[in-house]
Amino acid sequence: MRLHFINGEFTRGKSSESIEVFNPATEEIIDSVPRGTAADAEHAIHVANEAFKSWRRVSANLRATMLHDAAAKMRSHKEEIIKLLTLEQGKPVPENEEEFEWLCTTFDYYAELGRHERGRVLPSGEYTQLNLVIKEPYGVAACIIPWNYPLLLMAWKVAPALAAGNTVIIKPSELTPLSTLYIVENCWDHFPAGVINVVNGFGKEVAEPMVMHKDVPIIAFTGSLATGQRIASIAAPMMKKLHLELGGKDAFVIADDADPETAASALAYAGLTNCGQVCTSTERVYLPKRRAKEFTEALVEHIKTLRIGNGIEEGTDIGPMIGDSYRGKIEKQVEDAVKSGAKLLIGGKRPAQLKKGFFYEPTVLSNVNHKMTVMREETFGPVLPLMEYDSFEEAVAYTNDCDYGLGACLLTSDPLKAKIFFEEVKAGTVWINDPLTDNYAGPFGGMKLSGGARELGQEGLDQFRETKHVHWEFASGKKSWWYPY
């Protein structure tokens, strides 16, 4: 059993119950973790709050060194981390190699950014005055991590939080806690006790007590809209800083000048990476009516070449979904779409050759519309629904006809179409000809119901710093505008 990590020590905590962690490709138990309680969360909050008193005063240079050392140690454990991540999360090794690189480089990036500046000096109103804008850490940051990218999305929160001078409590997903705990034990042992803590467990039993606690001023969460709304509602009376990334329903527009083979590869990558379990997965595809047949046929033929199987096995393109209930949601969306008139072109079922594991075949639907659930609600699975449009302006309107606004993709060689798209589409990230590629220096986050948080870049650091204005008058004595008038 892997334990909680609180105040620099591994501990069983207050509960005798445990949570089993399964391999989604084999349904076998890998390990277990303690089922955390509110008392465990309270303990972690207390030690993190105490550690903050000294951690906030550690020099930016020393914090940077510690973050770089963490990245170096993680790289020295690369094979073990990738293997464990693949076993507990399921996606193929090549995709986890990419996640691992993001994990390490994010720590290196914020190591340097965290010592670059702390605010700015303003022009003062008088010669004898100094005006400063100072950015300060909040204190204890609760980092609530999802299961689909358990290390990458942890790093996007923890690295800037530490660089800014906060202490952290990580609540990993109960489905994928093992790789995080491995890293804490083997790669982060040089941080002072209490600066980094991990409490395992379910959201209502561990995360919710942290959200409600007066000594946790900032909550960083990636996950479902419903959970984000719950966090916002219970945190609102305390006016906490909320850092919420709440998923999406991303559109991919194929312009009429695109190449069908290129479009097929781009769509498959954007919609099927991590078995479609990406917050920025393409979940709506818009094709120009006059060339829809070409693009559709190319996509179906390309998907036929993809290999589905255990992510740990060489040659696997698409791994399993994380669990049976998640697969069931996809099956219902596809079933409802077909009943409403959609045409199933490929997939739409569990692969017969794989008797164990939560697998679902890559699926393409045509003849869909915006009344269907598969085009309205987040899917989070390997489904690409295709809808036709008459004009590019109509495609842009379809893209914006959604409650979410995380990302949007366009494939075109027409610069005017590209400009119209990124100017008119309401989404936090717009990808043109290179879907789902992030940049360490470029802020990632959404609009509308996708939430307003930003990760990566300067914006990602500033999410974990609050701003203070200092007005300093050097000259002593009374001012002419003080009482009496």
Q: Which are the catalytic amino acids? A: 245, 279
Q: How far is CA 201 from CA 34, 81, 154, in A?
A: 7, 21, 16
Which residues are registered as beta bridge partners of 409?
Answer: 252, 431
Q: How many residues does the chain have?
A: 485
In whole angstroms, give the CA distance from residue 460 to residue 440: 10
Angle in degrees, CA 182, 188, 190, rounded to 5: 145
* Closest-CA residue to 224 (of 319, 298, 86, 329): 329
